[in-house]
């Protein structure tokens, strides 16, 4: 069955027909709009509805449903149309439902850098030349003198797997009757079109795009649009997701007869058959010299010689410029290598862009967040140079810490990487909850990573200090635990005093000091006061020390003070301790008198 579409509608039911246009006034008079009626007699006027002169029409009439349906069909089959005069009809029945892709399919998207392009429609001649399939909806307004402005951005192109389709291929499918053309390729991106009377833009500025952009009023003035022009210069896959709408078709006529290569493939050794064999052989061979440059590029990439790697790839591309293998094409298997080498050569933004486009091709079934994560992971491994963004500085420093924790580096490398990752982490804000690389870098226990790096580097004392500051170490650090986590420092003995002393050793010493103080107290040995001083030094919380009236061991210190001939000081501490318990004054007095009687010397 046929489905008619306005402006090459892919699966909708719209028809662009010149027959609906008002007749052109006689050539005797000019129109009220000022346009000459003689246009009909010019070459452009006589060919205004000729598909041969308009085989790359823009889509300006499709709505979201049409675009969605078109993209659905292109996932498995080539789109066929009937294209005559100013009328284009999609023939959605022209396919083999039992064998998808039997008549061809579309390759993955070849992404391009792109730029905003502008187009003005000032008269009927320009309308038919530039937007022939928009004549049905715009023709009357243009003939009345109204002018239009259009801006578009091409972010990529998707091409059919077959350069030609032959009539004999379609004759076996009843649903293909009436097909005249097939969609050989279609461009992706975004566009916006509106009447100039509603636009008030400055010269050289874009109205709906960027680099001078328009106001919200101008943005609302767009009568027809697909995608979002403002998103087309985004740096992440998520940002550019709205710059991937089909906006333009490339149509090719269906060739008469049968595919000559198909006939030659089953023919005896005729000149045609031999020619086919030669063509196949040529496609299978790759320049040995170009392959040598590819291998050299791989070796230089492994050695992190980014500039040398790019130079080798440039040489290979020059020798073998086929799109399938040229490294500048995101569809090439060598484009990822080129992107990573650009990063190592100090060209991180260019490398990111190429790697992202490569990832968008090979990860087309996954969401933009997954693609961005892969691009960030690549940037983390390869980006370097003095002009890195704060984001790339954090990713690179975090990767450096990871490498240092797994391979032996020197202590300076560990300390510098730690300082860089802490500084960069404070300067970067994640782009939402799905920005996993940044979130992971900022949530990583960098002190623990630095400790691993330093332990491998042989600086066990510095590793112990970092471990003491880590999330794990600060809560439950011990010499035994340290040696378990850091086998390269199994012979290291942590300090037993000072700010980085082994807490386990400190606690053991404190317990021994308290036990000694208690024993000496009962023996009425005043040196128990020195043991309490040792015990107090092990406690970071002053409220827990024996000198604090709120401490549970304040009474022991009071007694030891009395045993050391410091009865008045001991009494003051005891009274303060009992007051904390809100005891009556007479009880406090009795308790203090008893202590003085029993312990004061």
The reply to whether 29 and 162 lie within a common domain is yes
Answer yes or no: are the C-beta atoms of 528 and 520 closer than 8 Å: yes
Listed in order, strand segments (DSSP E) in 420-502 are none
The reply to whether 294 and 154 lie within a common domain is no
CA–CA dist 447, 422 (Å, integer): 10
Q: Phi first, then psi: what are they for 37, rounded to 5°? A: -80, -5
Q: Where are the alpha helices (DSSP H) in 221-332?
A: 260-265, 271-284, 288-302, 306-319
Answer yes or no: are the C-beta atoms of 489 and 460 closer than 8 Å: yes
Answer yes or no: are the C-beta atoms of 288 and 309 closer than 8 Å: no
Q: Is residue 578 part of a domain?
A: yes
Answer yes or no: are the C-beta atoms of 192 and 164 closer than 8 Å: no
pLDDT confidence of residue 262 = 56
The reply to whether 507 and 465 lie within a common domain is no
Q: Is residue 270 part of a domain?
A: no
Answer yes or no: are the C-beta atoms of 263 and 272 closer than 8 Å: yes
- What is the distance of C-alpha 230 from the center of its chain? 18
pLDDT confidence of residue 566 = 93
Report residues of the chain scoring pLDDT below 50.
Answer: 1-33, 35-39, 42-44, 211-220, 265-266, 283
The reply to whether 400 and 527 lie within a common domain is no
The reply to whether 377 and 248 lie within a common domain is no
The reply to whether 361 and 410 lie within a common domain is yes
Listed in order, strand segments (DSSP E) in 50-180 are 80-84, 87-90, 110-111, 116-121, 148-159
- What is the distance of C-alpha 175 from the center of its chain? 43
> Which conformational region is residue 85 in: left (phi greater than 0), alpha (psi within -120 to 50 degrees), or beta?
left
Nearest to 425 by CA among 457, 391, 451: 391
The reply to whether 413 and 543 lie within a common domain is no
Q: Phi first, then psi: what are they for 117, rounded to 5°? A: -110, 150
Q: What is the DSSP letter of 202?
A: P
The reply to whether 439 and 352 lie within a common domain is yes
End of a domain among 199, 229, 253?
A: 253
Nearest to 202 by CA among 213, 192, 210, 194: 213
Q: Is residue 549 part of a domain?
A: yes
The reply to whether 304 and 371 lie within a common domain is yes
Number of domains comprising the chain: 3
The reply to whether 459 and 588 lie within a common domain is no
CA–CA dist 188, 207 (Å, integer): 20
Q: Is residue 396 part of a domain?
A: yes
The structure tokens listed for 253 are 């006529």
> Which conformational region is residue 542 in: left (phi greater than 0), alpha (psi within -120 to 50 degrees), or beta?
alpha
Answer yes or no: are the C-beta atoms of 226 and 34 closer than 8 Å: no
Q: Is residue 472 part of a domain?
A: yes
Q: Where are the alpha helices (DSSP H) in 93-230?
A: 124-130, 135-143, 167-170, 216-220
pLDDT confidence of residue 129 = 82
Q: How many CB atoms lie within 10 A of CB 47?
A: 15
Q: Is residue 348 part of a domain?
A: yes
pLDDT confidence of residue 84 = 82
**Which domain does 468 fall in, by range?**
288-477
End of a domain among 253, 280, 303?
A: 253
Q: Is residue 248 part of a domain?
A: yes
Q: What is the pTM of this model?
A: 0.51
Dihedral Cα 124, 125, 126, 131, nearest 10 deg: 70
The reply to whether 82 and 151 lie within a common domain is yes
Indicate the helix (H) or strand (E) that contains 252: strand 245-253
CA–CA dist 197, 206 (Å, integer): 16
pLDDT confidence of residue 325 = 87
The reply to whether 307 and 180 lie within a common domain is no
pLDDT confidence of residue 12 = 37
Q: Is residue 237 part of a domain?
A: yes
């Amino acid at each position: 069955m046929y489905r008619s579409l306005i402006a090459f509608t892919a699966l909708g039911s719209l028809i662009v027909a010149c027959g609906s246009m008002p007749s052109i006034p006689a050539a005797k008079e000019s129109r009220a709009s000022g346009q000459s009626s003689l246009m009909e007699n010019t070459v452009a006027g006589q060919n205004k509805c000729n598909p041969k002169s308009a085989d790359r029409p823009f889509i300006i009439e499709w709505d979201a449903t049409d675009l969605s349906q078109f993209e659905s069909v292109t996932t498995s089959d080539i789109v066929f149309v009937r294209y005559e005069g100013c009328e284009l009809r999609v023939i959605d029945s022209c396919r083999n439902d039992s064998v998808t892709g039997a008549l061809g399919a579309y390759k993955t998207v070849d992404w391009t850098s792109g730029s905003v392009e502008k187009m003005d429609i000032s008269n009927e001649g320009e309308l038919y030349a530039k937007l022939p399939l928009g004549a049905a909806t715009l023709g009357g307004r243009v003939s009345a003198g109204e002018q239009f402005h259009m801006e578009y951005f091409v972010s990529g192109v998707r091409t059919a797997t077959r350069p030609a389709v032959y009539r004999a291929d379609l004759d076996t499918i009843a649903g293909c009757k009436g097909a005249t053309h097939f969609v050989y390729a279609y461009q992706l991106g975004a566009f916006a079109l509106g009447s100039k009377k509603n636009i008030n833009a400055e010269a050289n500025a874009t109205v709906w795009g960027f680099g001078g952009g328009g106001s919200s009023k101008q943005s609302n003035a767009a009568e027809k649009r697909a995608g979002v022009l403002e998103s087309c210069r985004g740096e992440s896959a998520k940002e550019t997701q709205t710059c991937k709408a089909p906006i333009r078709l490339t149509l090719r006529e269906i060739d008469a007869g049968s595919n000559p290569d198909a006939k030659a493939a089953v023919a005896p050794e005729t000149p045609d058959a031999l020619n086919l064999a030669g063509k196949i052989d040529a496609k299978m061979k790759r320049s040995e010299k170009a392959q040598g440059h590819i291998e050299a590029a791989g070796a230089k990439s492994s050695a992190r010689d980014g500039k040398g790697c790019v130079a080798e790839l440039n040489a290979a591309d020059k020798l073998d410029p086929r799109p399938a293998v040229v490294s500048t094409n995101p569809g090439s298997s060598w484009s990822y290598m080129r992107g990573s080498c650009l990063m190592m050569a100090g060209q991180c933004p260019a490398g990111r862009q190429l790697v992202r486009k490569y990832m968008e091709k090979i990860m087309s079934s996954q969401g933009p967040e997954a693609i961005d994560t892969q691009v960030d992971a690549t940037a983390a491994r390869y980006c370097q140079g003095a002009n890195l963004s704060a984001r790339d500085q954090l990713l690179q420093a975090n990767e450096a810490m990871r490498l240092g924790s797994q391979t032996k580096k020197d202590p300076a490398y560990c300390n510098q990487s730690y300082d860089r990752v802490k500084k960069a982490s404070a300067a970067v804000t994640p782009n939402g909850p799905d920005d996993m690389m940044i979130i992971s870098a900022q949530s990583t226990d960098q002190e623990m990573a630095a400790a691993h790096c330093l332990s491998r580097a042989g600086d066990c004392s510095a590793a112990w200090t970092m471990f003491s500051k880590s999330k794990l170490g600060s809560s439950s650090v011990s010499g035994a635990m340290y040696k378990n986590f850091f086998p390269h420092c199994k012979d290291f003995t942590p300090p037993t005093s000072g700010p980085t002393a082994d807490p386990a050793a400190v606690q053991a010493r404190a317990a021994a000091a308290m036990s000694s103080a208690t024993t000496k107290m009962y023996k009425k040995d005043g040196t128990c006061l020195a043991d309490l001083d040792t015990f107090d030094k092990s406690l970071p919380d002053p409220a827990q020390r024996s000198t604090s009236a709120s401490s549970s061991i304040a009474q022991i210190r009071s007694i030891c003070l009395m045993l050391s001939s410091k009865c008045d000081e001991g009494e003051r501490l005891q009274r303060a301790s009992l007051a904390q318990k809100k005891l009556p004054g007479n009880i406090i007095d009795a308790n203090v008198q008893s202590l003085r009687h029993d312990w004061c010397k």
